[in-house]
Amino acid sequence: MKKTDDFVSLPQYMRILRKHITAIITCVFLGIGISMIVTFVFMTPKYSSTVDLLVNQKTSDVAAQFNVQQADLQAIRTYKDVLTKGVILNDVLREAKQKDNYKGSMEQLKKDITISNENSSQVISVTVTNGNPYIAADIANMIGSVFTKKIKKIMQINNVTIVNKATPKLDPVSPRKKLNLVLGALAGLIVGLMIVLIKELGNTKVDSEEFLTEELGLTVLGKVYHLDNRTKEYGIVSINSVDKAFDSELRRKRV
């Protein structure tokens, strides 16, 4: 790509893209190929399962129902914190090792657990992620079971029940295959464009008449043709080449 006044117009970019479209498409497919290899070969699928816990203190006093509900909402913050503490997870880890031959540590178990709660909702969702969908469901249900039993002693109140048990979900939550392929294609496109632009920016060779007329605004006065004695083909040579050939011929005749 040749530049004038350090300015490159949009038509110039379009001509560059058309010129190197094959190389750019090749880079895109290479990006997709690399993404497929990483996604399907090197990345381990992860599965998640969720157990839902309802925080709802039972009361027969209709007048006090609102205050009880607000107290439950305030308690949810504490419950979310307790769910990730050793008082709950120690029993869960022990049971998971016995029942499912779980190989993870306490720190790994904590990383595999995600706790969520919608605003003004009395439901706490505990999601467990694991490489095995059945182990993920088992651990989630273990957390729900241990928590509902121990929270009675910890808080001296019985206001947590399991409303939705975890079930194995066989669709992996990661890696996100389609997203990875799109990102691979995008990365390949960016790399391809960068290579093409760098190559063109470093190219200072004048290889077309259009550059002289359109980019530099020069007028072509004529063309010089020559006949190659070896191939018998006509071609265009520069004025400098003709001058050198003419000088060589004069020197030969003088000798």
User: Do 190 and 158 have their domain in common?
Assistant: no
* Tokens, residue 79: 């419950």
Rounded distance, CA 127 to CA 72, Å? 21
Residues 85 and 14 in one domain: no
Eight-class DSSP state of 174: B
Predicted local confidence at residue 74, as pLDDT: 81
- Calpha distance 122→162 (Å, rounded): 12
Q: Which residues pair with 174 in a beta bridge?
A: 46
> What size, in residues, is the chain?
255
Are 153 and 68 within one domain? yes
Are both 73 and 144 inside the same structural domain?
Answer: yes
- DSSP summary character for residue 216: S
| Domain contains 170 | no
Q: Are 162 and 149 in contact (CB under 8 A)?
A: no
Task: Give yes or no: residues 113 and 185 share one domain.
Answer: no
Residue 215 inside a domain? The answer is no
Is the pTM of the predicted complex or chain greater than 0.75? no
Q: How is 27-93 classified by DSSP, letter by letter? A: HHHHHHHHHHHIIIIISPPBEEEEEEEEE----S-STTHHHHHHHHHHHHHHHHHHTTSHHHHHHHH
- Domain of 76, CATH number, reads 3.30.70.1130
45: preceding bond cis by omega (within 30 degrees): no
Question: What pLDDT, on the 0 to 100 scale, is given for residue 196?
Answer: 87
List the domain range (segments joined by +) for residue 236. 220-250
Q: Which long-range contacts (CB under 8 A, 24 or more apart) does 31-38 make?
A: 31/184, 31/185, 31/186, 31/187, 31/188, 31/189, 31/191, 32/181, 32/184, 32/185, 32/188, 33/184, 34/184, 34/188, 35/180, 35/181, 35/183, 35/184, 35/185, 35/187, 36/181, 36/184, 38/180
Q: Which amino acid is at 249?
A: E
pLDDT value at residue 253: 45
Domain-embedded: residue 104: yes
- Whether residue 211 lies inside any domain: the answer is no
Q: Count how many domains the chain has.
A: 3
In angstroms, the CA 132 to CA 33 distance is: 27
In order along its 255 residues, the chain shows pLDDT tens digits of 444 444 556 777 787 788 889 999 999 999 999 999 998 888 889 999 999 999 887 665 555 666 767 777 788 888 899 999 999 999 999 999 999 999 999 999 999 999 998 887 889 999 999 999 999 999 999 999 999 999 888 887 778 889 999 999 999 998 888 999 999 999 999 999 999 888 877 766 666 666 667 666 677 666 666 555 555 555 554 444 444 444 454 455 444
Instruction: Examine the domain organization and report whether 33 and 58 are in the same domain.
Output: no
pLDDT reported for residue 226: 57
* Dist. CA 219–CA 205, nearest whole Å: 18
